[in-house]
Structure 1
């Protein structure tokens, strides 16, 4: 079973936040579309699960801000595959720490981009230039240049400072005036709360039922096979990052009409 993070830059594949490689303060919702920085103002780095194609838009919505801090969102791209990174060795900041390690290009967005409800999009073109656009700025604004266009490039977002919660919008959300539907809170679902017959598919392989209960955190949106792989690779729960001590395979009753 492969990791849900992918090195395939096919834009037809779903885009979401990388489920395993992110900052130590990041909490993801079960669909990996909402990222929250739990505390402090740093250690909020997140990546996309797959490389971004030239001119493909990465669209974010600011769901919550925390005014007690200073500074805001940082965005950019990296040619380092997040699936091959050690999350425990990620630096606390994208700018300048991750950038100074090389193979990462990121910039600070204007302060108006951290207001709650703001929708913004950024992309890299075929000449290695990065642009962004927001509701407050109709024209595209240059951010970076000189990116290696012949390399795979994953998007990197730093949920920093006043930026508290961000949502990755779908591929059809490039219209910045489009309002998004309500999203689940970035709190991981407890398997015991799932009604019989309503279990979802595994969020890693997306092909088997989520029939594994992780202990002690009780999160349960992985199939038993993927849960075993995560456990044997000594990785924590992909949702709360608590170390897995045991896996319980659960029999899911079918729904009778």
Structure 2
């Protein structure tokens, strides 16, 4: 390996360490958000870098990347937040072996990036699966196959030429009728544990009780959880949601709900339940 390649590898690994999780959980994959400095010219980030919105003046220029490299078999979950019926085409999801900072962003991932180099791979999602509220999982396996799973459970894969032994970044093209998406987190299973991405980018230690408090908690969600249970159930019924039957924490949408709240429901993970109680 030449000195230049060694230096590039060192820079890549430095980039990995910058995004290590600071909550010190053994099963944490680290925080997951969109890259703040490398995205299409019509993209705006919000919600701590987890929501990406493309200006609807064009169906293109909606490329975004993950802020950190992802792992093999790390399944990223993405929700469509907004779409328009005036345009054709839909979301593209995939991965890149190239540092986002070293990528010259074209207007589209497919075919601009995928046809130009084997270091990029993306799958085109069908328009019928990309409607507001729909969720998609995508990941790369140890055979360099790009997998996708839609809201109805349908799975598909395509082979890629990606190098799974080097750093890999998630790549999403908010294209066509899809104009806004939210990163819901990621998880990776092995024989003993389920590893999950951290729900917050910043953690602040509470000096009184030695617990971690998250300052970027969604205020609307917190307000909803603090309402009387009868009102929450009424709102859930009216909106067609099933918040209290969810397998995930209703706040972070990534950890398992494991703490009983004063209302008598177990719908939040421990860190966010503590935040709710202390507010």
Band the TM-score falls in, shorter-chain normalisation: 0.5 to 0.7
| Alpha-carbon distance, 1:150 to partner | 1.1
CA offset at residue 147 of structure 1? 2.3
The one of 63, 67, 81 equivalent to 1:45 is 63
Contact 2:75 2:188 in 1 (8 A): no
Equivalent residue, structure 2, for 1:177: none
Instruction: Measure, in 2, the Cα distance between the counterparts of 1:152 and 1:112.
Output: 32
Partner of 2:211: none
2:113 is aligned with 1:95:
no
Aligned partners of 1:162 and 1:47: how far apart in 2?
Answer: 19
Paired residue for 1:80? 98
Unaligned runs of 5+ in 1: 175-200, 209-220, 222-257
Q: Secondary structure at the match of 2:132?
A: coil
1:32 to 34, 45, 49: 49
1:141 shift after superposition: 1.1
- Written as runs of structure 1 = structure 2, the 5 A alignment for 1:142-157 is 142-157=157-172
Where in structure 1 do 4 or more consecutive aligned residues deviate above 4 Å?
8-11
TM-score calculated relative to the size of structure 2: 0.56
What whole-Å deviation, never above 9, does each CA across 1:231-257 have from its counterpart, x for those lacking one? xxxxxxxxxxxxxxxxxxxxxxxxxxx
Local SS of the residue matching 2:128: helix
Q: Distance in 1 between matches of 2:29 and 2:37?
A: 22
Contact 2:74/2:188 (8 A) holds in 1: no
Higher relative contact order (CA 8 A, sep 6+): 1
Higher Rg: 2
Deviation of 1:30 (Å): 4.5
Residue 143 of structure 1 aligns to a residue in which SS?
A: strand
Could you tell me which residue of structure 1 aligns to residue 146 of structure 2?
A: 130
1:151-196 Cα offsets, whole Å, 9 max, x none, are 211010000000011000023699xxxxxxxxxxxxxxxxxxxxxx
Which deviates more, 66-75 or 144-153? Answer: 144-153
Matched with 1:229 is none
Q: What is the match of residue 164 of structure 1?
A: 179
1:7 match: 16
For 2:159 and 2:173, how far apart are their aligned partners in 1? 16
Contact 1:73/1:113 (CA < 8 Å) preserved in 2?
no
- Equivalent residue, structure 1, for 2:127: 111
Structural mapping, 1:187-202, within 5 Å: none
Change (3 A) 1:118 1:143: farther
How many Å apart are 1:13 and its aligned residue? 1.4
Q: Which has the higher helix share?
A: 2
**Cα distance in 1 between the residues matched to 2:188 and 2:90:** 22
Mark the runs of 5 or more structure 2 residues left unpaired by the alignment: 1-10, 21-27, 190-199, 205-215, 217-279
Deviations along 1:11-64, one digit per CA (max 9) or x if unpaired, are 621010001100000000050000000131100000001111011011100011
Would you say how many aligned residue pairs link Structure 1 and Structure 2? 173
Counterpart secondary structure, 2:129: helix
Whether 1:19 and 2:27 are equivalent positions in the alignment is no
TM-score by length of 1: 0.61
SS at match of 1:6: helix
1:56-99 Cα deviation digits (max 9, x unpaired): 011100011011111000111000111344xxx41000000112
For residues 145 and 65 of structure 2, the distance between their equivalents in structure 1, rounded to whole angstroms, comes to: 19
Residues 139 and 30 of structure 1, relative CA distance in 2, 3 Å threshold: closer
CA drift of 1:207 comes to 7.8
